[in-house]
Protein backbone atom coordinates (compact mmCIF):
# COMPACT_ATOMS: atom_id res chain seq x y z
CA UNK A 1 0.00 0.00 0.00
CA UNK A 2 2.80 2.39 0.73
CA UNK A 3 4.79 2.39 -2.48
CA UNK A 4 3.76 2.70 -6.07
CA UNK A 5 6.17 0.27 -7.65
CA UNK A 6 5.05 -1.66 -10.70
CA UNK A 7 6.42 -4.86 -9.16
CA UNK A 8 3.35 -6.89 -10.03
CA UNK A 9 3.96 -6.00 -13.67
CA UNK A 10 7.58 -7.09 -13.36
CA UNK A 11 6.54 -10.41 -11.85
CA UNK A 12 4.08 -11.01 -14.66
CA UNK A 13 6.87 -10.30 -17.11
CA UNK A 14 9.14 -12.88 -15.46
CA UNK A 15 6.38 -15.48 -15.37
CA UNK A 16 5.54 -15.10 -19.03
CA UNK A 17 9.06 -16.10 -20.03
CA UNK A 18 9.60 -16.33 -23.78
CA UNK A 19 6.32 -14.63 -24.61
CA UNK A 20 7.26 -11.92 -22.16
CA UNK A 21 8.52 -9.24 -24.47
CA UNK A 22 5.36 -9.10 -26.58
CA UNK A 23 3.10 -9.35 -23.54
CA UNK A 24 5.04 -6.68 -21.64
CA UNK A 25 4.70 -4.27 -24.54
CA UNK A 26 1.00 -4.93 -24.63
CA UNK A 27 0.56 -4.62 -20.91
CA UNK A 28 2.29 -1.26 -20.87
CA UNK A 29 0.22 -0.07 -23.79
CA UNK A 30 -2.99 -0.96 -22.04
CA UNK A 31 -1.96 0.94 -18.92
CA UNK A 32 -3.77 4.19 -19.60
CA UNK A 33 -2.50 7.43 -18.11
CA UNK A 34 -4.39 9.40 -15.48
CA UNK A 35 -4.61 13.09 -14.66
CA UNK A 36 -4.37 13.26 -10.87
CA UNK A 37 -4.64 17.05 -10.92
CA UNK A 38 -6.56 19.04 -11.95
CA UNK A 39 -9.75 17.00 -12.37
CA UNK A 40 -11.87 16.90 -15.54
CA UNK A 41 -14.62 19.51 -15.77
CA UNK A 42 -13.40 21.56 -12.86
CA UNK A 43 -13.13 25.29 -12.25
CA UNK A 44 -9.94 26.98 -10.99
CA UNK A 45 -8.93 30.53 -10.26
CA UNK A 46 -6.72 32.19 -12.89
CA UNK A 47 -3.10 31.63 -11.89
CA UNK A 48 -0.50 28.88 -12.13
CA UNK A 49 -2.16 25.45 -12.38
CA UNK A 50 -0.26 22.47 -11.02
CA UNK A 51 -0.66 19.38 -13.21
CA UNK A 52 0.12 15.80 -12.14
CA UNK A 53 0.00 12.92 -14.62
CA UNK A 54 0.52 9.28 -13.73
CA UNK A 55 1.62 7.33 -16.84
CA UNK A 56 3.54 4.16 -17.51
CA UNK A 57 4.76 5.40 -20.88
CA UNK A 58 6.68 8.55 -21.66
CA UNK A 59 4.35 10.99 -23.34
CA UNK A 60 3.58 14.52 -24.45
CA UNK A 61 1.51 17.04 -22.57
CA UNK A 62 -0.17 19.90 -24.32
CA UNK A 63 -2.41 22.77 -23.31
CA UNK A 64 -4.93 23.84 -25.96
CA UNK A 65 -2.81 22.05 -28.57
CA UNK A 66 0.51 23.66 -27.58
CA UNK A 67 3.30 21.54 -26.05
CA UNK A 68 4.02 22.07 -22.35
CA UNK A 69 7.38 21.67 -20.56
CA UNK A 70 7.22 18.52 -18.54
CA UNK A 71 9.14 17.45 -15.49
CA UNK A 72 9.56 13.75 -14.92
CA UNK A 73 10.22 12.47 -11.45
CA UNK A 74 10.51 8.85 -10.43
CA UNK A 75 8.32 5.97 -11.49
CA UNK A 76 6.06 7.32 -14.21
CA UNK A 77 5.14 10.56 -12.48
CA UNK A 78 5.05 13.71 -14.61
CA UNK A 79 4.36 17.24 -13.44
CA UNK A 80 4.01 20.63 -15.04
CA UNK A 81 2.83 24.11 -14.17
CA UNK A 82 0.66 25.78 -16.77
CA UNK A 83 -0.42 29.39 -17.04
CA UNK A 84 -3.20 30.68 -19.18
CA UNK A 85 -5.87 33.33 -19.46
CA UNK A 86 -9.44 33.00 -18.23
CA UNK A 87 -11.87 30.66 -19.95
CA UNK A 88 -12.11 27.08 -21.14
CA UNK A 89 -8.92 25.04 -21.60
CA UNK A 90 -7.99 21.52 -22.57
CA UNK A 91 -5.05 19.45 -21.37
CA UNK A 92 -4.06 16.43 -23.42
CA UNK A 93 -1.61 13.65 -22.65
CA UNK A 94 -0.56 11.39 -25.53
CA UNK A 95 1.55 8.27 -25.15
CA UNK A 96 1.73 4.71 -26.52
CA UNK A 97 -1.45 3.83 -24.59
CA UNK A 98 -3.44 6.54 -26.34
CA UNK A 99 -4.73 9.98 -25.48
CA UNK A 100 -6.26 11.30 -22.27
CA UNK A 101 -7.96 14.67 -22.20
CA UNK A 102 -9.37 16.83 -19.47
CA UNK A 103 -11.05 20.20 -19.65
CA UNK A 104 -10.97 22.90 -17.03
CA UNK A 105 -12.20 26.46 -16.72
CA UNK A 106 -10.07 29.34 -15.40
CA UNK A 107 -12.34 31.73 -13.62
CA UNK A 108 -12.01 35.51 -13.36
CA UNK A 109 -14.42 38.07 -11.98
CA UNK A 110 -15.40 38.94 -15.55
CA UNK A 111 -16.11 35.41 -16.86
CA UNK A 112 -17.94 33.79 -13.91
CA UNK A 113 -21.14 33.64 -15.97
CA UNK A 114 -19.39 31.46 -18.55
CA UNK A 115 -18.65 28.56 -16.18
CA UNK A 116 -20.16 25.46 -17.85
CA UNK A 117 -23.24 24.11 -16.06
CA UNK A 118 -22.51 21.40 -13.51
CA UNK A 119 -18.76 22.06 -13.28
CA UNK A 120 -17.38 22.38 -9.76
CA UNK A 121 -14.60 24.43 -8.21
CA UNK A 122 -11.40 22.45 -7.74
CA UNK A 123 -9.40 23.23 -4.60
CA UNK A 124 -5.82 21.98 -4.69
CA UNK A 125 -4.52 20.36 -1.51
CA UNK A 126 -2.35 21.28 0.22
CA UNK A 127 -2.33 24.79 -1.19
CA UNK A 128 1.42 24.67 -1.89
CA UNK A 129 2.51 22.19 -4.54
CA UNK A 130 5.63 20.70 -2.99
CA UNK A 131 5.38 16.98 -3.62
CA UNK A 132 8.30 16.32 -1.26
CA UNK A 133 6.15 17.19 1.75
CA UNK A 134 4.49 13.79 1.45
CA UNK A 135 6.44 11.81 -1.17
CA UNK A 136 10.01 10.74 -1.63
CA UNK A 137 11.95 9.41 -4.57
CA UNK A 138 14.09 6.50 -3.59
CA UNK A 139 16.01 4.52 -6.17
CA UNK A 140 13.76 5.67 -8.94
CA UNK A 141 10.61 4.67 -7.09
CA UNK A 142 7.84 7.13 -6.30
CA UNK A 143 6.95 6.44 -2.69
CA UNK A 144 6.01 7.89 0.66
CA UNK A 145 8.04 9.60 3.31
CA UNK A 146 6.26 8.01 6.22
CA UNK A 147 5.07 4.50 6.96
CA UNK A 148 1.41 5.44 6.93
CA UNK A 149 -0.66 8.13 5.22
CA UNK A 150 -1.97 9.41 8.53
CA UNK A 151 1.55 10.07 9.82
CA UNK A 152 2.02 12.43 6.88
CA UNK A 153 -1.34 14.08 7.38
CA UNK A 154 -0.78 14.74 11.05
CA UNK A 155 2.38 16.71 10.37
CA UNK A 156 0.00 19.55 9.40
CA UNK A 157 -3.39 18.57 10.80
CA UNK A 158 -4.24 18.37 14.48
CA UNK A 159 -5.08 14.88 15.59
CA UNK A 160 -7.31 16.31 18.33
CA UNK A 161 -9.69 18.23 16.05
CA UNK A 162 -9.55 15.33 13.61
CA UNK A 163 -11.06 12.98 16.21
CA UNK A 164 -14.00 15.37 16.69
CA UNK A 165 -14.80 15.39 12.97
CA UNK A 166 -14.56 11.61 12.47
CA UNK A 167 -16.95 9.22 14.17
CA UNK A 168 -14.95 6.00 13.66
CA UNK A 169 -12.26 4.00 15.35
CA UNK A 170 -8.65 4.45 14.23
CA UNK A 171 -8.67 1.25 12.23
CA UNK A 172 -11.50 2.41 9.98
CA UNK A 173 -9.93 5.84 9.56
CA UNK A 174 -6.31 4.86 8.99
CA UNK A 175 -6.69 4.82 5.21
CA UNK A 176 -7.37 8.55 4.82
CA UNK A 177 -7.39 8.32 1.03
CA UNK A 178 -10.40 6.03 1.09
CA UNK A 179 -12.43 9.20 1.53
CA UNK A 180 -10.04 12.12 0.85
CA UNK A 181 -8.16 13.11 -2.28
CA UNK A 182 -4.68 14.17 -1.12
CA UNK A 183 -4.07 16.31 -4.24
CA UNK A 184 -7.26 18.30 -4.13
CA UNK A 185 -10.92 17.91 -4.88
CA UNK A 186 -14.12 19.44 -6.14
CA UNK A 187 -15.97 18.23 -3.03
CA UNK A 188 -16.22 19.75 0.43
CA UNK A 189 -13.45 18.72 2.85
CA UNK A 190 -11.40 17.45 -0.09
CA UNK A 191 -13.52 14.33 -0.23
CA UNK A 192 -12.84 12.03 -3.17
CA UNK A 193 -16.51 11.66 -3.95
CA UNK A 194 -19.79 13.07 -2.66
CA UNK A 195 -20.12 12.43 1.06
CA UNK A 196 -23.02 9.93 0.77
CA UNK A 197 -21.04 7.86 -1.74
CA UNK A 198 -18.04 7.86 0.59
CA UNK A 199 -20.15 6.44 3.42
CA UNK A 200 -21.79 3.88 1.13
CA UNK A 201 -18.38 2.28 0.52
CA UNK A 202 -19.11 0.45 3.78
CA UNK A 203 -22.63 1.33 4.94
CA UNK A 204 -24.88 -0.12 2.21
Which residues make beta-bridge pairs with 104?
A: 42, 89
Q: Which is nearer to ligand HEC, 4 or 13 (CB)?
A: 4
Candidates 14-22, 61-69, 95-103, 189-197 — which segment interacts with ligand HEC by CB under 6 A?
189-197
Cα 104 to Cα 43: distance, rounded to the nearest angstrom: 6
**Contact pick of 39, 61, 77, 102 for ligand HEC (by CB under 6 A):** 77
Cα 144 to Cα 74: distance, rounded to the nearest angstrom: 12
Cα 184 to Cα 136: distance, rounded to the nearest angstrom: 19
Q: Is 138 helix (H, G, I), strand (E, B) or coil?
A: strand
Phi, psi of 131 (to 5 degrees): -65, -35
Q: Which is nearer to ligand HEC, 16 or 173 (CB)?
A: 173
Tell me which residues touch ligand HEC (CB under 6 A).
4, 36, 50, 52, 54, 77, 79, 123, 125-127, 129, 131, 133-135, 142, 149-150, 152-153, 155-157, 161-162, 165-169, 172-173, 175-180, 182-183, 189-190, 195, 198-199, 201-203
Amino acid sequence: MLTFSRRSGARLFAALGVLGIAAWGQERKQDASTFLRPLDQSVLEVGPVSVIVRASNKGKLSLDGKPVDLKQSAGGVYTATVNSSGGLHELSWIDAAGEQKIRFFLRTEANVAGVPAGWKVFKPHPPSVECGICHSEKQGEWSFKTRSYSETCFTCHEQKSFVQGHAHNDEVLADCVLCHNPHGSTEEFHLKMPRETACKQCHG
